């Protein structure tokens, strides 16, 4: 009788039977996924339908350490927001929940009715990105137009926005690319490099801007001797066709790609863009010959993690494959990050929710992976990250199939023939994970 009475009271709110909540998190997103030194904060918002009014449920947002950032319980609420300020050159991730509890150390466990995938907010080093854009610009057909597709209207009105117009005027005057981009940042704010970075790195529809009817006042960029312009449409199309002609990993858990020609073109373009990054150590020729593993939208969180590390340490675009036995023999044990000193809240806290894994990049099954990736006893920036467990494990299986089909670990250990490239594809390209074996 006592137990029944307690249960009855638990199901009451102010003497009224508490309603259950059946709904969904309709959106969970950040106002910006990249912030910079002059504007460090983004707003992360979860929205639900219906509201939790009249129920015992709580909306909550947790960060990558499973620490409660905010809970929302006030009447009629259907949205809950936080401000995110990631550390310099760092990334914060968040997940949203609807449940009957919101503990300080999460995630919630009492009657969890809804949960979200992770949302990431990264802090960018503007000077690094300016330098990267300055390297990519000379390899584009119409760089001012391609780099700044969005900007304030020019005055007097023209086919170019104000960013494009000032960019081309400066180039016509012979101003070097680093100065051109930095001057635009000084005049319009560091936020412009975020859109420019997407335009320069996404391998998307902006690759090879169509010719304009109006004259281009910028002097033509001379391509390297004996090589076509990197982003000439004919070059990108030809590279994509050659990539498609390679043995491509199919079956296993690879999603059937309805447009393989389009995907091959974009993967090749993304690879060439990564080759323009300083210290990447790869060339356009590597994109033509080396095996390529391209994580895509089916492992979004893992692909984003891979890209974030490569962005900060471009040399990690090229990895050397190892079998698990060879890696273990090197002294690096699987799950090394679950042990001190790495099992900390700012790296890979343990224990952690069963729905998440600690993802590592460079991959464990590579010579470059492990606790010395950044040098003896030093991690690379963002090397470890908590992500969705299903995606982490799926990427591992897809990588294993890539190794098997392409025979990446068949040559002797230490052979250059074990090298392959990792080319993460942004989610907006809607390209599934793809593997291309060695080219001719």
Enumerate residues 6+ apart whose C-beta is below 8 A from 188.
151, 152, 163
Tell me what pLDDT residue 232 has.
59
Tell me what pLDDT residue 200 has.
61
Residue 228 in this model has a pLDDT that exceeds 70? no
Residue that wins the pLDDT comparison between 388 and 1: 388
Per the CB < 8 A criterion, the answer to whether 368 and 316 are in contact is: yes
Phi, psi for residue 234 in degrees, rounded to 5: -65, -40
Please state, in angstroms and rounded to a whole number, the distance separating the CA atoms of residues 77 and 48. 9
Q: Which of 396, 382, 311, 374 is nearest to 348 (CA)?
A: 382
Cβ atoms within 10 Å, residue 14? 5
Mean per-residue pLDDT over the chain, rounded: 82
| Domain 2-122 CATH class label | mainly beta
Q: Which of 116, 133, 128, 122 is nearest to 304 (CA)?
A: 122
Residue that wins the pLDDT comparison between 261 and 77: 261
| E strands in 361-410 | 384-388
Please state, in angstroms and rounded to a whole number, the distance separating the CA atoms of residues 182 and 268. 29
Please state, in angstroms and rounded to a whole number, the distance separating the CA atoms of residues 192 and 244. 34
pLDDT in tens, 399-440: 999 999 999 999 999 899 999 999 998 776 788 999 999 986
Phi, psi for residue 251 in degrees, rounded to 5: 75, -150
- Boundaries of every domain in the chain: 2-122, 126-201, 233-436
* Percent of the chain with pLDDT strictly greater than 90: 42
DSSP of 13-36: ETTEEPPP---EEEEEEES-SEEB
Residue 35 in this model has a pLDDT that exceeds 90? no
């Amino acid at each position: 009788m006592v137990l029944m009475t307690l249960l009855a009271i638990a199901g009451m709110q102010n003497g009224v039977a508490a309603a259950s909540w059946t709904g969904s998190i309709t959106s969970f997103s950040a106002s910006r996924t990249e912030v910079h030194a002059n504007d460090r904060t983004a707003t992360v918002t979860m929205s639900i339908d219906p509201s939790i009014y009249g129920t015992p449920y709580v909306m909550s947002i947790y960060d990558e350490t499973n620490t409660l950032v905010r809970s929302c319980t006030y009447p009629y609420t259907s949205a809950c927001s936080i401000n995110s300020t990631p550390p310099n050159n760092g990334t914060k991730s968040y997940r949203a929940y609807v449940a009957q509890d919101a503990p300080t150390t999460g995630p919630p466990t009492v009657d969890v009715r809804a949960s979200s995938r992770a949302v990431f907010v990264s802090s960018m080093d503007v000077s690094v990105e300016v330098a990267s854009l300055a390297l990519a610009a000379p390899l584009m057909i119409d760089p001012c137009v391609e780099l700044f597709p969005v900007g304030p209207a020019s005055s007097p009105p023209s086919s170019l926005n104000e960013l494009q117009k000032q960019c081309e005027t400066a180039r016509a005057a012979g101003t070097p690319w680093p100065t051109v981009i930095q001057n635009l940042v000084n005049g319009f704010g560091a936020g412009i490099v975020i859109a420019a970075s997407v335009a320069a790195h996404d391998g998307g529809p902006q690759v090879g801007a169509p010719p304009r009817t109006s004259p281009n006042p910028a002097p033509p960029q001379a391509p390297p001797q004996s090589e076509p312009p990197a982003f000439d449409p004919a070059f990108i199309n030809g590279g994509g066709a050659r990539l498609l002609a390679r043995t491509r990993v199919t079956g296993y858990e690879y999603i059937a790609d309805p447009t393989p020609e389009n995907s091959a073109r974009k993967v090749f373009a993304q690879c060439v863009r990564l080759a323009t990054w300083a210290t990447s150590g790869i060339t356009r020729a590597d994109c033509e010959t080396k095996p390529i593993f391209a994580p895509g939208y089916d492992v979004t969180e893992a692909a984003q993690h891979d890209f974030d590390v490569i962005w900060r340490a471009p040399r990690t675009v090229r990895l050397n494959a190892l079998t698990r036995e060879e890696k273990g023999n090197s002294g690096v044990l699987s799950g090394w990050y679950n042990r001190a000193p790495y099992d900390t809240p700012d790296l890979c806290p343990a224990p952690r929710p069963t729905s998440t894994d600690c993802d590592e990049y460079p991959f464990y099954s590579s010579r470059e992976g492990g606790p010395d990736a950044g040098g003896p006893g030093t991690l690379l920036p963002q090397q470890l990250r908590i992500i969705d467990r299903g995606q982490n494990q799926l990427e591992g299986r897809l990588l294993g199939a890539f190794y098997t089909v392409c025979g990446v670990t068949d040559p002797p250990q230490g052979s250059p023939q074990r090298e392959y490239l990792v080319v993460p594809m942004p989610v907006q390209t809607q390209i599934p994970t793809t593997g291309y074996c060695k080219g001719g």
